[in-house]
């Protein structure tokens, strides 16, 4: 397989001297072309710092990031980001189609080509009928669909998603998760998604990277063998899903990789309860952050 993203020994420290804060510590991992990988970790562990380093918005204190073999120095032209706060990432004075077309203006496409590209991705996210509307006329879930369409219109080599579904209700979250799986297959996209939600990470991912508490390091790189065809009911009820959910929940409750054990004495019910408590706490924090 071809490596799309190579994060090698990346660390970052804010400040200098005795007051310096180490946010991430010697992180190394790879994402293969066409893969959907999820990063899950505790609040404040350095996930946002890592995404800024990958996107070229921040130069790490140590290590390097390479996108399809090229050293990331500044924001790569073939990278797109979908943020959590869709209300701030769309231009309220532009129509849905104009929002999707906006980043294409700098890519040398003619007006007709921009229209064609925008119409294609809007159809794929189910918003063909909303092309002339404005963001403020749409629900939160529909606005996030516009954000996804805009990112896909750029045909990015890598799509970064920073907790993209944290600010929507549960039913809309499920719909957007399934949408992502569909368009990912359609466009053969390489995706790196950050989430607090254990269930979401397993449902979406080919691999899950579990981060430790700050300063972040990789606790585990877990392959997710759930097949390419997934649905919200049977997939989440499968033995494989439940096992992976419990494993990730245990890892997130550990302080470091060295403390991880098999926990033979734990019951499946206890593991599921722990995962539920963790997921609910993280969702509550995400909702509070969105309100503020």
Answer yes or no: are the C-beta atoms of 248 and 201 closer than 8 Å: yes
pLDDT attached to residue 213: 83
- Domain positions in the chain are 3-78+156-291
- How crowded is residue 156: how many other Cβ atoms within 10 Å of its Cβ? 21
pLDDT attached to residue 264: 41
In angstroms, what CA-CA distances link 114 with 102, 108, 109, 118, 166?
9, 9, 6, 6, 30
In angstroms, what CA-CA distances link 281 with 47, 154, 276?
17, 35, 9
CA 141/CA 126 separation, integer angstroms:
11
- How crowded is residue 284: how many other Cβ atoms within 10 Å of its Cβ? 11
CA 50/CA 225 separation, integer angstroms:
26
Class of domain 3-78+156-291: alpha beta
Tens of pLDDT, residue by residue, the chain (292 residues): 789 999 999 999 888 777 778 888 889 999 999 999 999 988 778 888 899 999 999 999 999 999 999 999 988 988 999 988 877 889 999 999 999 999 998 888 899 999 999 999 999 888 999 999 999 999 988 999 999 999 999 999 999 999 888 878 888 889 989 989 988 888 888 999 999 899 999 999 999 999 988 788 888 999 999 988 999 999 999 999 999 999 999 998 874 444 343 334 444 444 455 455 555 555 555 555 455 5
């Amino acid at each position: 397989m071809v490596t799309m993203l190579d994060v090698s020994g990346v660390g970052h420290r804010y400040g200098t001297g005795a007051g310096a804060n180490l946010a991430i510590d010697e992180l190394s991992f790879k994402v293969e072309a066409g893969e959907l990988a999820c990063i899950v970790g505790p609040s404040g562990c350095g996930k946002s710092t890592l995404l800024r380093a990958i996107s070229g918005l921040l130069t790490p204190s140590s290590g390097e990031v390479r996108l399809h073999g090229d050293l990331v120095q500044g924001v790569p032209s073939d990278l797109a980001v979908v943020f959590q706060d869709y209300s701030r990432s769309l231009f309220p004075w532009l129509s849905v189609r104009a929002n999707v077309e906006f980043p294409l203006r700098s890519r040398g496409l003619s007006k007709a080509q921009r229209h064609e590209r925008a119409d294609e991705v809007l159809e794929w996210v189910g918003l063909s009928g909303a092309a002339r509307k404005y963001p403020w006329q749409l629900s939160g879930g529909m606005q996030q669909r516009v954000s996804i369409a805009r990112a896909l219109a750029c045909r990015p080599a890598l799509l970064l998603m920073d907790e993209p579904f944290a600010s929507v209700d549960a039913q809309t979250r499920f719909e957007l998760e399934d949408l992502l799986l569909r368009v990912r297959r359609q466009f053969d996209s390489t995706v790196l998604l950050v989430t607090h939600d254990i269930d979401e990470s397993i449902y979406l991912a080919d691999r899950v990277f579990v981060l430790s508490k700050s300063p972040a390091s990789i606790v585990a790189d877990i392959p997710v063998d759930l097949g390419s065809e997934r649905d919200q009911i049977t997939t989440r009820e499968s033995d494989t899903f439940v096992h992976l959910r419990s494993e990730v929940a245990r890892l997130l409750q550990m302080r470091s990789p060295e403390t991880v054990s098999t926990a033979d004495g734990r019951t499946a019910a206890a593991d599921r309860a722990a995962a539920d408590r963790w997921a609910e706490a993280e969702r509550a924090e995400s909702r509070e952050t969105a309100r503020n």
